Amino acid sequence: MKRKVLITGASRGIGRAIAEGFAKAGDELILTCVNNKEQLDMFSKELSERYDIKCHAYACDCGDYDSVKELFDHVDDIDIVVNNAGVAFLGLITDMEKEDWRRLMSTNLDSLFYTSKFAIPMMVKKQCGKIINISSVWGEVGASCEVAYSASKGGVNSFTKALAKELAPSGIQVNAIACGVIDTDMNRKHLTEDELKELEEEIPMGRMGSVEEVASLTLMIADAPAYMTGQIITLDGGWI
């Protein structure tokens, strides 16, 4: 049976790979991005033609309440929400401006509240649904020079566990994936090749994870038994 799947931050990286995974499964997709709408439109068309599915692309700042509210004006039903949109800040906390902090928290954490607020009533009506949040190992252990990012992902983990308890009586599962170092444009933007190589040497598997591996785990969680909820599942090659 085809499912309706919302994936935020789907124009590149992890979100793009997750979208491709659900498209292969034959699901109907609702994809969002902030700055790469033309790229997302092309990707949406490509998925529609390749997998013979319905795929809708929207420009949406998921860290902005009104933008998410407008998005859901176009959504009349939803089965799965994948909260993937995220940004990072690498540097000393004292070098961070309040605007940087607010943007990061809005994108990484507030967005979960906004999408959940509008998606949950549709799921409760059916007494089923799945919310999958893309988190980070830094939300569990913290990272120097990534205080804000770590704090936001710690919030994602707590949000996941608490919401899972709140929605369990309604048959809705809420889980998260705590990613380690994944080979994405965001990581390559903030880290030099030497820094990435040093990280790889620390990881028992000796390499970064791939976006396809995150997508594969996301699909597994989407198909997981109903009794699995409130879990933060680590995908880090044995690193942390």
Tens digits of residue pLDDT in 94-107: 999 999 999 999 99
22 in any annotated domain: yes
Mean pLDDT of 104-111: 98
pLDDT of amino acid 190: 77
Residue spans of alpha helices (H) in the chain: 13-24, 37-51, 65-72, 98-105, 111-126, 138-141, 147-167, 185-190, 193-202, 211-222
**Is the pTM value of this prediction over 0.95?**
yes
Q: Is the pLDDT confidence value at 79 over 90?
A: yes
240 in any annotated domain: no
pLDDT of amino acid 59: 98
Residue 83: give its domain's CATH number: 3.40.50.720
Mean pLDDT of 30-56: 97
pLDDT band at 157 (very low <50, low <70, confident <90, very high): very high
Average pLDDT of the chain? 97
Q: Is the pLDDT confidence value at 185 over 90?
A: no
Q: Is the pLDDT confidence value at 28 over 90?
A: yes
Which of these is catalytic: 58, 65, 114, 149? 149
150 in any annotated domain: yes
Give the Cα separation of 90 and 236 in Å (integer).
20
pLDDT of amino acid 192: 87
228 in any annotated domain: yes
44 in any annotated domain: yes
Where do we find the tokens 């309706």? Answer: 4
pLDDT of amino acid 158: 98
Give the Cα separation of 63 and 83 in Å (integer).
11
Give the Cα separation of 234 and 179 in Å (integer).
6
229 in any annotated domain: yes
* Count of the separate structural domains present in the chain: 1
pLDDT of amino acid 187: 83
Q: Are 84 and 184 in contact (CB under 8 A)?
A: no
Give the Cα separation of 131 and 120 in Å (integer).
9
128 in any annotated domain: yes
pLDDT band at 130 (very low <50, low <70, confident <90, very high): very high
Least confident of 7-16, 54-63, 195-204, 210-219: 195-204
Q: Is the pLDDT confidence value at 1 over 80?
A: no
166 in any annotated domain: yes
Active site residue 65: no
Domain range for 122 is: 4-235
